[in-house]
Structure 1
Amino acid sequence: MSGEKRVIKKYPNRRLYDTATSSYITLGDVKQLVLDHVDLQVVDAKTQDDITRSVLLQIILEEEAGGMPMFTYDVLTQIIRFYGNTMQGLMGNYLEKNLELFSQMQQKLQDQTRQMVGDNPMFGNHNMWSEYMKFQAPAIQNMMTSYLEQSTNMFVEMQNQMQTRTKNLFSGFPFQPYTPPSSDKDPKN
């Protein structure tokens, strides 16, 4: 992505204006820009506030309302529970790194497929692609196992960093190990 972001202005009438093309666009057009890896920023035309995240969340909400949602009830409730939690900041970073890792894995699979079949138009056919993917199940399983191992390693590394930071943060405080109170009283009394 380039250093310069494409600016989309959102007006009070809820219309989106692409300053690069000097034209009004739809939320679907913004989605396509994201799919095309265009670095963009959405600003409120009146206040100049950056509202990019809320527009991206709106796109996700529309996608989730469609036929095949990506997030289950359990995933959504877990995400909500992290808000206000001491781990909130770390969770965002963890999810971001996992998505990067997953994208790399997906790209690797696509590259390997292109190397094997080239630009064969037969694989443009959905049924042929489905059959090919069934054949590739063991390879995909191996990639997923590798991904999960890397994700686990990332989580362990994150825990180690937290422990180190905590130790550094509290290194000036004299902590005594916990010892349970002794029972000086005779249990018979």
Structure 2
Amino acid sequence: MPDQNHDPSDEPSPAATPRERIIKKYPNRRLYDTTTSTYITLAEVKQLVIGGEAVMVRDAKTGDDLTRSILLQIILEEEAGGAPMFSETALANIIRFYGHAMQGYMGAYLEKNVQMFSEFQSRLAEQAQGLSPEKWAQFMQLNSPLMKNWMGSYAEQSQTAFAQMGEQMQRQTDQMLEAFGMKKR
């Protein structure tokens, strides 16, 4: 049951993609799911994301896109509890890229690698369907030929993504030098 903060205009906007779930964030920090017309928790937003749903979080008053801040809040809560995914060293290295000339490249590189790893994980799960626990244990041994093949494929894709990032940087450097009237030797 929505409270007095809910506005009937909270329905998904035409600008939103049909599969995108619109969540309104109210000043009282409550999250309202416009698809189900119910209030939800941050944990429920996390479950939507885990389930593969595209979500967009909007400020109920201003309409500003708050999706990134909500996703970062979910990551922060996950990192603070249980087993963190990022070490302090990894976090410090990520912070060092902010404001650095490589910031844009690093974000794209990380995004591509996470995407490749997710695809790798999906293919691994498909291959593992129907395996007995014993066969699964053999399959997961890092020295097994199948696992070496899978890991080699992932490493190759990662290396390709890094090479593409380098080529993109080179093209942009060349364009910048040309803009300043300087030719690359």
Normalising by structure 2, report the TM-score: 0.80
Task: Give percent identity, aligned residues only.
Answer: 52
Structure 1 residues 130-169: Cα deviation after superposition (integer angstroms, max 9, x where no partner): x654322223343223212221121112102211221133
Classify the secondary structure of the residue corresponding to 2:32. strand
> Which structure is larger by alpha-carbon Rg, 1 or 2?
1
Aligned to 2:17: 3
Unaligned runs of 5+ in 1: 118-122, 178-189
Sort the Cα spacing of 1:132 and 1:25 in 2 relative to 1 into closer, same or farther, 3 A: farther
Q: Out of 51, 64, 67, which is 2:82 matched to?
A: 67
Classify the secondary structure of the residue corresponding to 1:7. strand
Aligned residues: 164
- Runs ≥4 residues deviating over 3 A: 131-134, 139-142, 174-177
Aligned to 2:7: none
* Superposed CA RMSD: 2.1
Aligned to 2:152: 145
Q: What does residue range 1-189 of structure 1 map to in structure 2 within 5 Å?
A: 3-4=17-18, 5-114=20-129, 116-117=130-131, 128=133, 133-136=136-139, 137=141, 138=144, 139-171=146-178, 173-174=181-182
Structure 1 residues 43-69: Cα deviation after superposition (integer angstroms, max 9, x where no partner): 111221110000001111111112111
Unaligned runs of 5+ in 2: 1-15
C-alpha distance in structure 2 between counterparts of 1:47 and 1:161, whole Å: 37
Sort the Cα spacing of 1:134 and 1:174 in 2 relative to 1 into closer, same or farther, 3 A: same
